[in-house]
Structure formats: C-alpha cells, structure tokens
A and B are shown apart, each in its own frame.
Chain A
Amino acid sequence: MSLPATKSDVVVAGPFKPRSAAIVPLAAQPRRFDPRGLAIKVAQSVLPPLVVIAILLGLWQAAFSGPDSSLPPPSEVWAQSRDLIVEPFFVHGSQDIGLGWRVLVSLERVAYGFGLAAIVGVLIGALIGQSVWAMRGLDPIFQVLRTVPPLAWLPLSLAAFLDSRPSAIFVIFITSIWPVIINTAVGIRNIPQDYRNVALVLRLNHVEYFFKIMVPAAAPYIFSGLKIGVGLSWLAIVAAEMLTGGVGIGFFIWDAWNSSRLTDIIVALVYIGLVGFMLDKLVSFLGALVTRGTSSN
C-alpha cells in the first residue's frame, strides 16, 4: 500500500546528510458495515442474560410448585396476571388501568421532583463549590442529610404540604438533591486554574462564566450526581406512593398486597426494575452526549 507523503518545510540538521523531513499521514481505516460481526456482538450481549433468566425461572418454578408454597411460581404469575404483562396500556376504569399508565404517572412525579432537584442542586452546588468555607461548613451537613431514607421525610412533608401530591414530589426532591449538590460542588472545585484564567483574561461576567466554563467543565461530575439522584428518586417515588395513594405504580403494589394479589406484585416489581434501569441508562446517555469532549481529555 502506498501512502501519500507531504513534504514539510522544516529542515532537519542531523549528524548525517540533511534531508527534508516527511510527515506521513496514516490513512484512516475504512469502516465497512459488517452484518455478521454485528450479529455476533448482539448475541454476545443478549444471549447470556437470556440464558440466566431462563435458568432462574426454571429454578423458581421448581422451588415454588408445591401445593403449600407461600409464593406463586412463574406459571401462576403468567396465568393470573397475563393482562398486566402483555398489555401495559389498557384502561378498564378509573382505578383499573395498565401498569404502563401507572408507571407514567409515577414518572411524571419523578420528572417534577427530580427536575427541580437537578436545577436547584446544580445552582446550590455551584455556589458552594466556589467557596472553601461554604464547602467546609456545609459538606458534613449534606453528608448526614444524604443518608436519611426517603420515607423518613414523608411525615414532615405531609405536615408541611397537607396534600399527598406535593408531598410525594417533595420527598423525591429532598432525596435526590444531595448527590447533585455534592457532586456539582466537587466538580466546580476541580475546575483547572487554566480555565479560570481564560475566563479572567476574557473578563467573562458571572452568568457567562457559569454557562460557558463552570457547567461544561463540571459536567462529568454533575452527571454522576444526577445519575445517583435519578436512582434515588425512583426509590423514593415507589415508597412515597405506597403511603400517599393515587394511581402510581407504588400505590398499585400496596393495593395488590391489601387484596392479596401476589402475582400482580411480582409483575409490578419487574416493571419498576426495568424502568429504573432505563432511567439510569437515559441519564448516562445524556451525560455521555453532553460531556463528549470533556471526559475524553
């Protein structure tokens, strides 16, 4: 293979006879679409979990098939709750709706609570990160508050808001805001002096500095905080809804327990797990998108 060589105008003076240096650019490897390779890749990532799930279902079926077992086996879950599994978006009445709808209702609350936590958390984190003393004073407090379980906030929240809907949202907010604040503050602290100097030389004002330097520079940290936060808010919504009622997925579990529909609970657990997984992936994806340049450097 012959490569094009560009002559550079730099002359090397060496111990041997001078020669003009040639810079040889590497030819980019042409990317071809390879269906077989792609199929193998998909199989490698999809097959193992499928096999494991099949084995676990088999074990489960074997362990709980007896007449006096306390929990239903998979076959019974399928028999009794098939409508919930195959049809997420049915509507049979105001209280009898598919789990997809319930998840959406819960997600809406999460969107409010977590969205608020993200905005407020980044702003507070940015303020704290700029001052050593604020960091020293507030960090221990945040570290303590961070460990308070979501449900422990609920009574106070109900007392303050006197209504279940804002209470649930507040619980999500207060549960998920701490990692956002802490991570943002750490990210701001870690902005290299070089970037600050660039901002100083250009005389960026506070708003410009916030949007053009601080947020992008701290974005990897902010997104790791958001990722922890979104997981916590999904934990919180289910717990909060169990107590506050409504049509969310959390209340559905509580309701199913009260009417002894164990198979419905099992289906709901799978929904919750899958949605939580997708939320996590979504935030990771957004993070990867936003921090393309920053983290690879």
Chain B
Amino acid sequence: MTAYLKLDHIGKTFTRGSASTEVLRDIRLTIDKGEYVSIIGHSGCGKSTLLNLVAGLTEVSQGAVLLENQEVNAPGPDRAVVFQNHSLLPWLTVYENVNLAVSKVFSGRKTRAERHDWIMENLTLVQMAHARDKRPSEISGGMKQRVGIARALAMEPKILLLDEPFGALDALTRAHLQDQMMEIHARLGNTIIMITHDVDEAVLLSDRIVMMTNGPTATIGEVLDVPLERPRNRIALASDRTYLRCREAVLKFLYERHRFVEAAE
C-alpha cells in the first residue's frame, strides 16, 4: 500500500536578493490515512514552514509533496489549515466565517438547506452553535480557535493541518480543546498534522511524534511511535508507563540532544 501523504525529500531555501537561507533539508515522511501526527521542535526551526509547504502556501525548493500519489503544489481546501492565530475574518459572524468556506467548497454539490445543516453540524461539533451570530471580536480566544477548527473541518479536507492550534490558550481551555480534538478525530477519522510546542499535548493526541532538529537547515531528527490505546484519558495516562516513556523520549530529544541554541547563524 502506498502512503496517503508523502513528503519526498523536501527542502526549502528562502532567497531574498543575494541572501539565501536553507530552512529545511531532506524531509522524508509518510503519513497514513487517519493518522494523527504531531510535529515538535524548538521555536524558529521551521515547523510552520513545513506545514505551509504541505498546505501549498509556500513553494518547495526541492522534492515534492504527494497526496494520494498526486503532487500538490498549490493551496486547496483538501488541505485545510487552522492557523497559529485563528485568522477568522473579523467582519463576518461565526456562522458567516464557516459559511464562506462551505459555500465555496460545496457550491453545486449541496443545496442551500444542506449547506446550512452542514455549517450547523460543524459548529455543533466544536460546541459553538450557540455563538453563531457573534463576531470574532465578541468571543474568547478558545472559542475563536474552535470556530477556526470548525471552518477547517467543514471543508471536509483530506488532511487537516493545525499550526499550534492551542498555543495561545490558557491551560484549562487548552485541555478542554485537546479532549474535543481527540473526540472529533475518533468520530471522523481525519488525517491530522499538528504542530505543537507542548510535549504533553503531542504525546496525548498523536499516533506519531515527528521531532525536528534545530535550525538553520533543520530536518527530521527522530520519529516516535505512541502506542497508546484510544480513547485516551489524560488522568489515567498521567501515571501510565508507556505515556511516561514517550514523554521522556521527547523531552530528552528536545532538551538533551537538540538543546535550543540562541542565534545559531
């Protein structure tokens, strides 16, 4: 069986004028359908860049991104992104923000009534149906992030790309959203790539954790399997041997083998 998503020897070099920086080199990764993969690494190593390459928002310099054996090099709704800072359109209500995506992606495929039901279904999935007529400025950060997730899910993407989706949230809200994300993943079986800074979050949510080396010219240092049964419960896992072993492996990678070095250039 061939991989669902394949990152085939990807490299990325940014050039401005005569100066060029190689940010990523020789990224090789295959992801199966329904897998939940986290990418973890120190700030500035190129995680967002890697996600943007998969999303098609940035062009690859070397190699190729293959989705179901098709090369993708332009952005599209089959690879929906939840951005680092929610990026809801502030002049639209919660409902309209999701509707923007739904009416574009499903125009011609769903009737108006079906689209409405689909929007409400996705808002209900992230428990935001009650705030459908609020504007982004009127809801909290966690709620905005949930609407962002609903908008991405509503595109029915082949791959859901999450760039530190819970990074800007307080610990309580974050835990709540992580649980919701696990539920959604269990129910819909999406294929998900999530960037995170948070070791616990990575272990709790993922099937595999991709650990990136430090930049400049970062690459994949190690890929860790997380052989934990689903559904997972954060309280029960807190003292689970496998959980603790995975957690330790990631911590060792990040803080012993690839410690963050300031101003590497």
| A contact set with B: CB distance below 8 Å | 8-13, 21, 192, 194-195, 197-198, 200-204, 208, 212-213, 216-217, 219, 291-294, 296-297
Q: Is the CB of A203 within 8 A of B75?
A: yes
| B contact set with A: CB distance below 8 Å | 55-57, 75-77, 79-81, 83, 85, 87, 89-92, 100-101, 104-105, 135-137, 155, 172, 175-176, 235, 238
Which residues of chain A are near B136, meaning CB under 8 Å? 293, 297
| CB of A275 to closest CB in B, whole Å | 31
Which residues of chain B are near A21, meaning CB under 8 Å? 172
Q: Is the CB of A202 within 8 A of B105?
A: yes
Q: Is the CB of B91 within 8 A of A293?
A: yes
| CB of B236 to closest CB in A, whole Å | 12
Given known pairs A197-B81, A201-B75, A202-B77, the reply for A294 and B90 (CB within 8 Å) is yes
Q: Is the CB of B172 within 8 A of A194?
A: no
Query: What are 26 inter-chain pairs, A to B, with CB distance below 8 A?
Result: A8-B172, A8-B176, A21-B172, A192-B87, A194-B85, A194-B87, A195-B87, A195-B89, A197-B83, A198-B87, A201-B75, A201-B77, A201-B81, A202-B100, A202-B101, A202-B155, A216-B91, A216-B92, A217-B89, A292-B91, A293-B90, A293-B92, A293-B136, A294-B90, A296-B90, A297-B137
Which one of B55, B135, B238 contacts A293 once the chains associate, using CB atoms below 8 Å? Answer: B135
Q: Is the CB of A201 within 8 A of B176?
A: no
Q: Is the CB of A294 within 8 A of B176?
A: no
Which one of A197, A203, A294 contacts B87 once the chains associate, using CB atoms below 8 Å? Answer: A197
Q: Provide the bound-state CA to CA distance between A13 and B105, in Å.
A: 42
Q: Is the CB of A12 within 8 A of B172?
A: yes
Q: Is the CB of A11 within 8 A of B235?
A: yes
Q: Provide the bound-state CA to CA distance between A203 and B57, in Å.
A: 11
Q: Provide the bound-state CA to CA distance between A195 and B97, in Å.
A: 12
Closest-by-CB residue of A relative to B135 is A293
Given known pairs A10-B172, A197-B57, the reply for A203 and B77 (CB within 8 Å) is yes
Q: Provide the bound-state CA to CA distance between A226 and B175, in Å.
A: 47
Q: Provide the bound-state CA to CA distance between A197 and B77, in Å.
A: 11
Q: Is the CB of A213 within 8 A of B89?
A: yes
Q: Is the CB of B176 within 8 A of A293?
A: no
Closest-by-CB residue of B relative to A293 is B91
Which residues of chain A are near B100, meaning CB under 8 Å? 198, 202, 212
Q: Provide the bound-state CA to CA distance between A296 and B55, in Å.
A: 30
Closest-by-CB residue of B relative to A196 is B57
Closest-by-CB residue of B relative to A204 is B104
Which one of A192, A203, A297 contacts B104 once the chains associate, using CB atoms below 8 Å? Answer: A203
Closest-by-CB residue of A relative to B55 is A201
| CB of A190 to closest CB in B, whole Å | 14
Q: Is the CB of A291 within 8 A of B91?
A: yes
| CB of B31 to closest CB in A, whole Å | 19
Q: Is the CB of A203 within 8 A of B76?
A: yes
| CB of B130 to closest CB in A, whole Å | 12
Which residues of chain A are near B91, meaning CB under 8 Å? 216-217, 219, 291-294
| CB of A287 to closest CB in B, whole Å | 13
Which residues of chain B are near A192, meaning CB under 8 Å? 87
| CB of A13 to closest CB in B, whole Å | 8
Closest-by-CB residue of B relative to A201 is B75
Which residues of chain B are near A292, meaning CB under 8 Å? 91, 135
Which residues of chain A are near B104, meaning CB under 8 Å? 202-204, 208
| CB of A216 to closest CB in B, whole Å | 4
Given known pairs A10-B175, A197-B81, A208-B104, the reply for A216 and B89 (CB within 8 Å) is yes
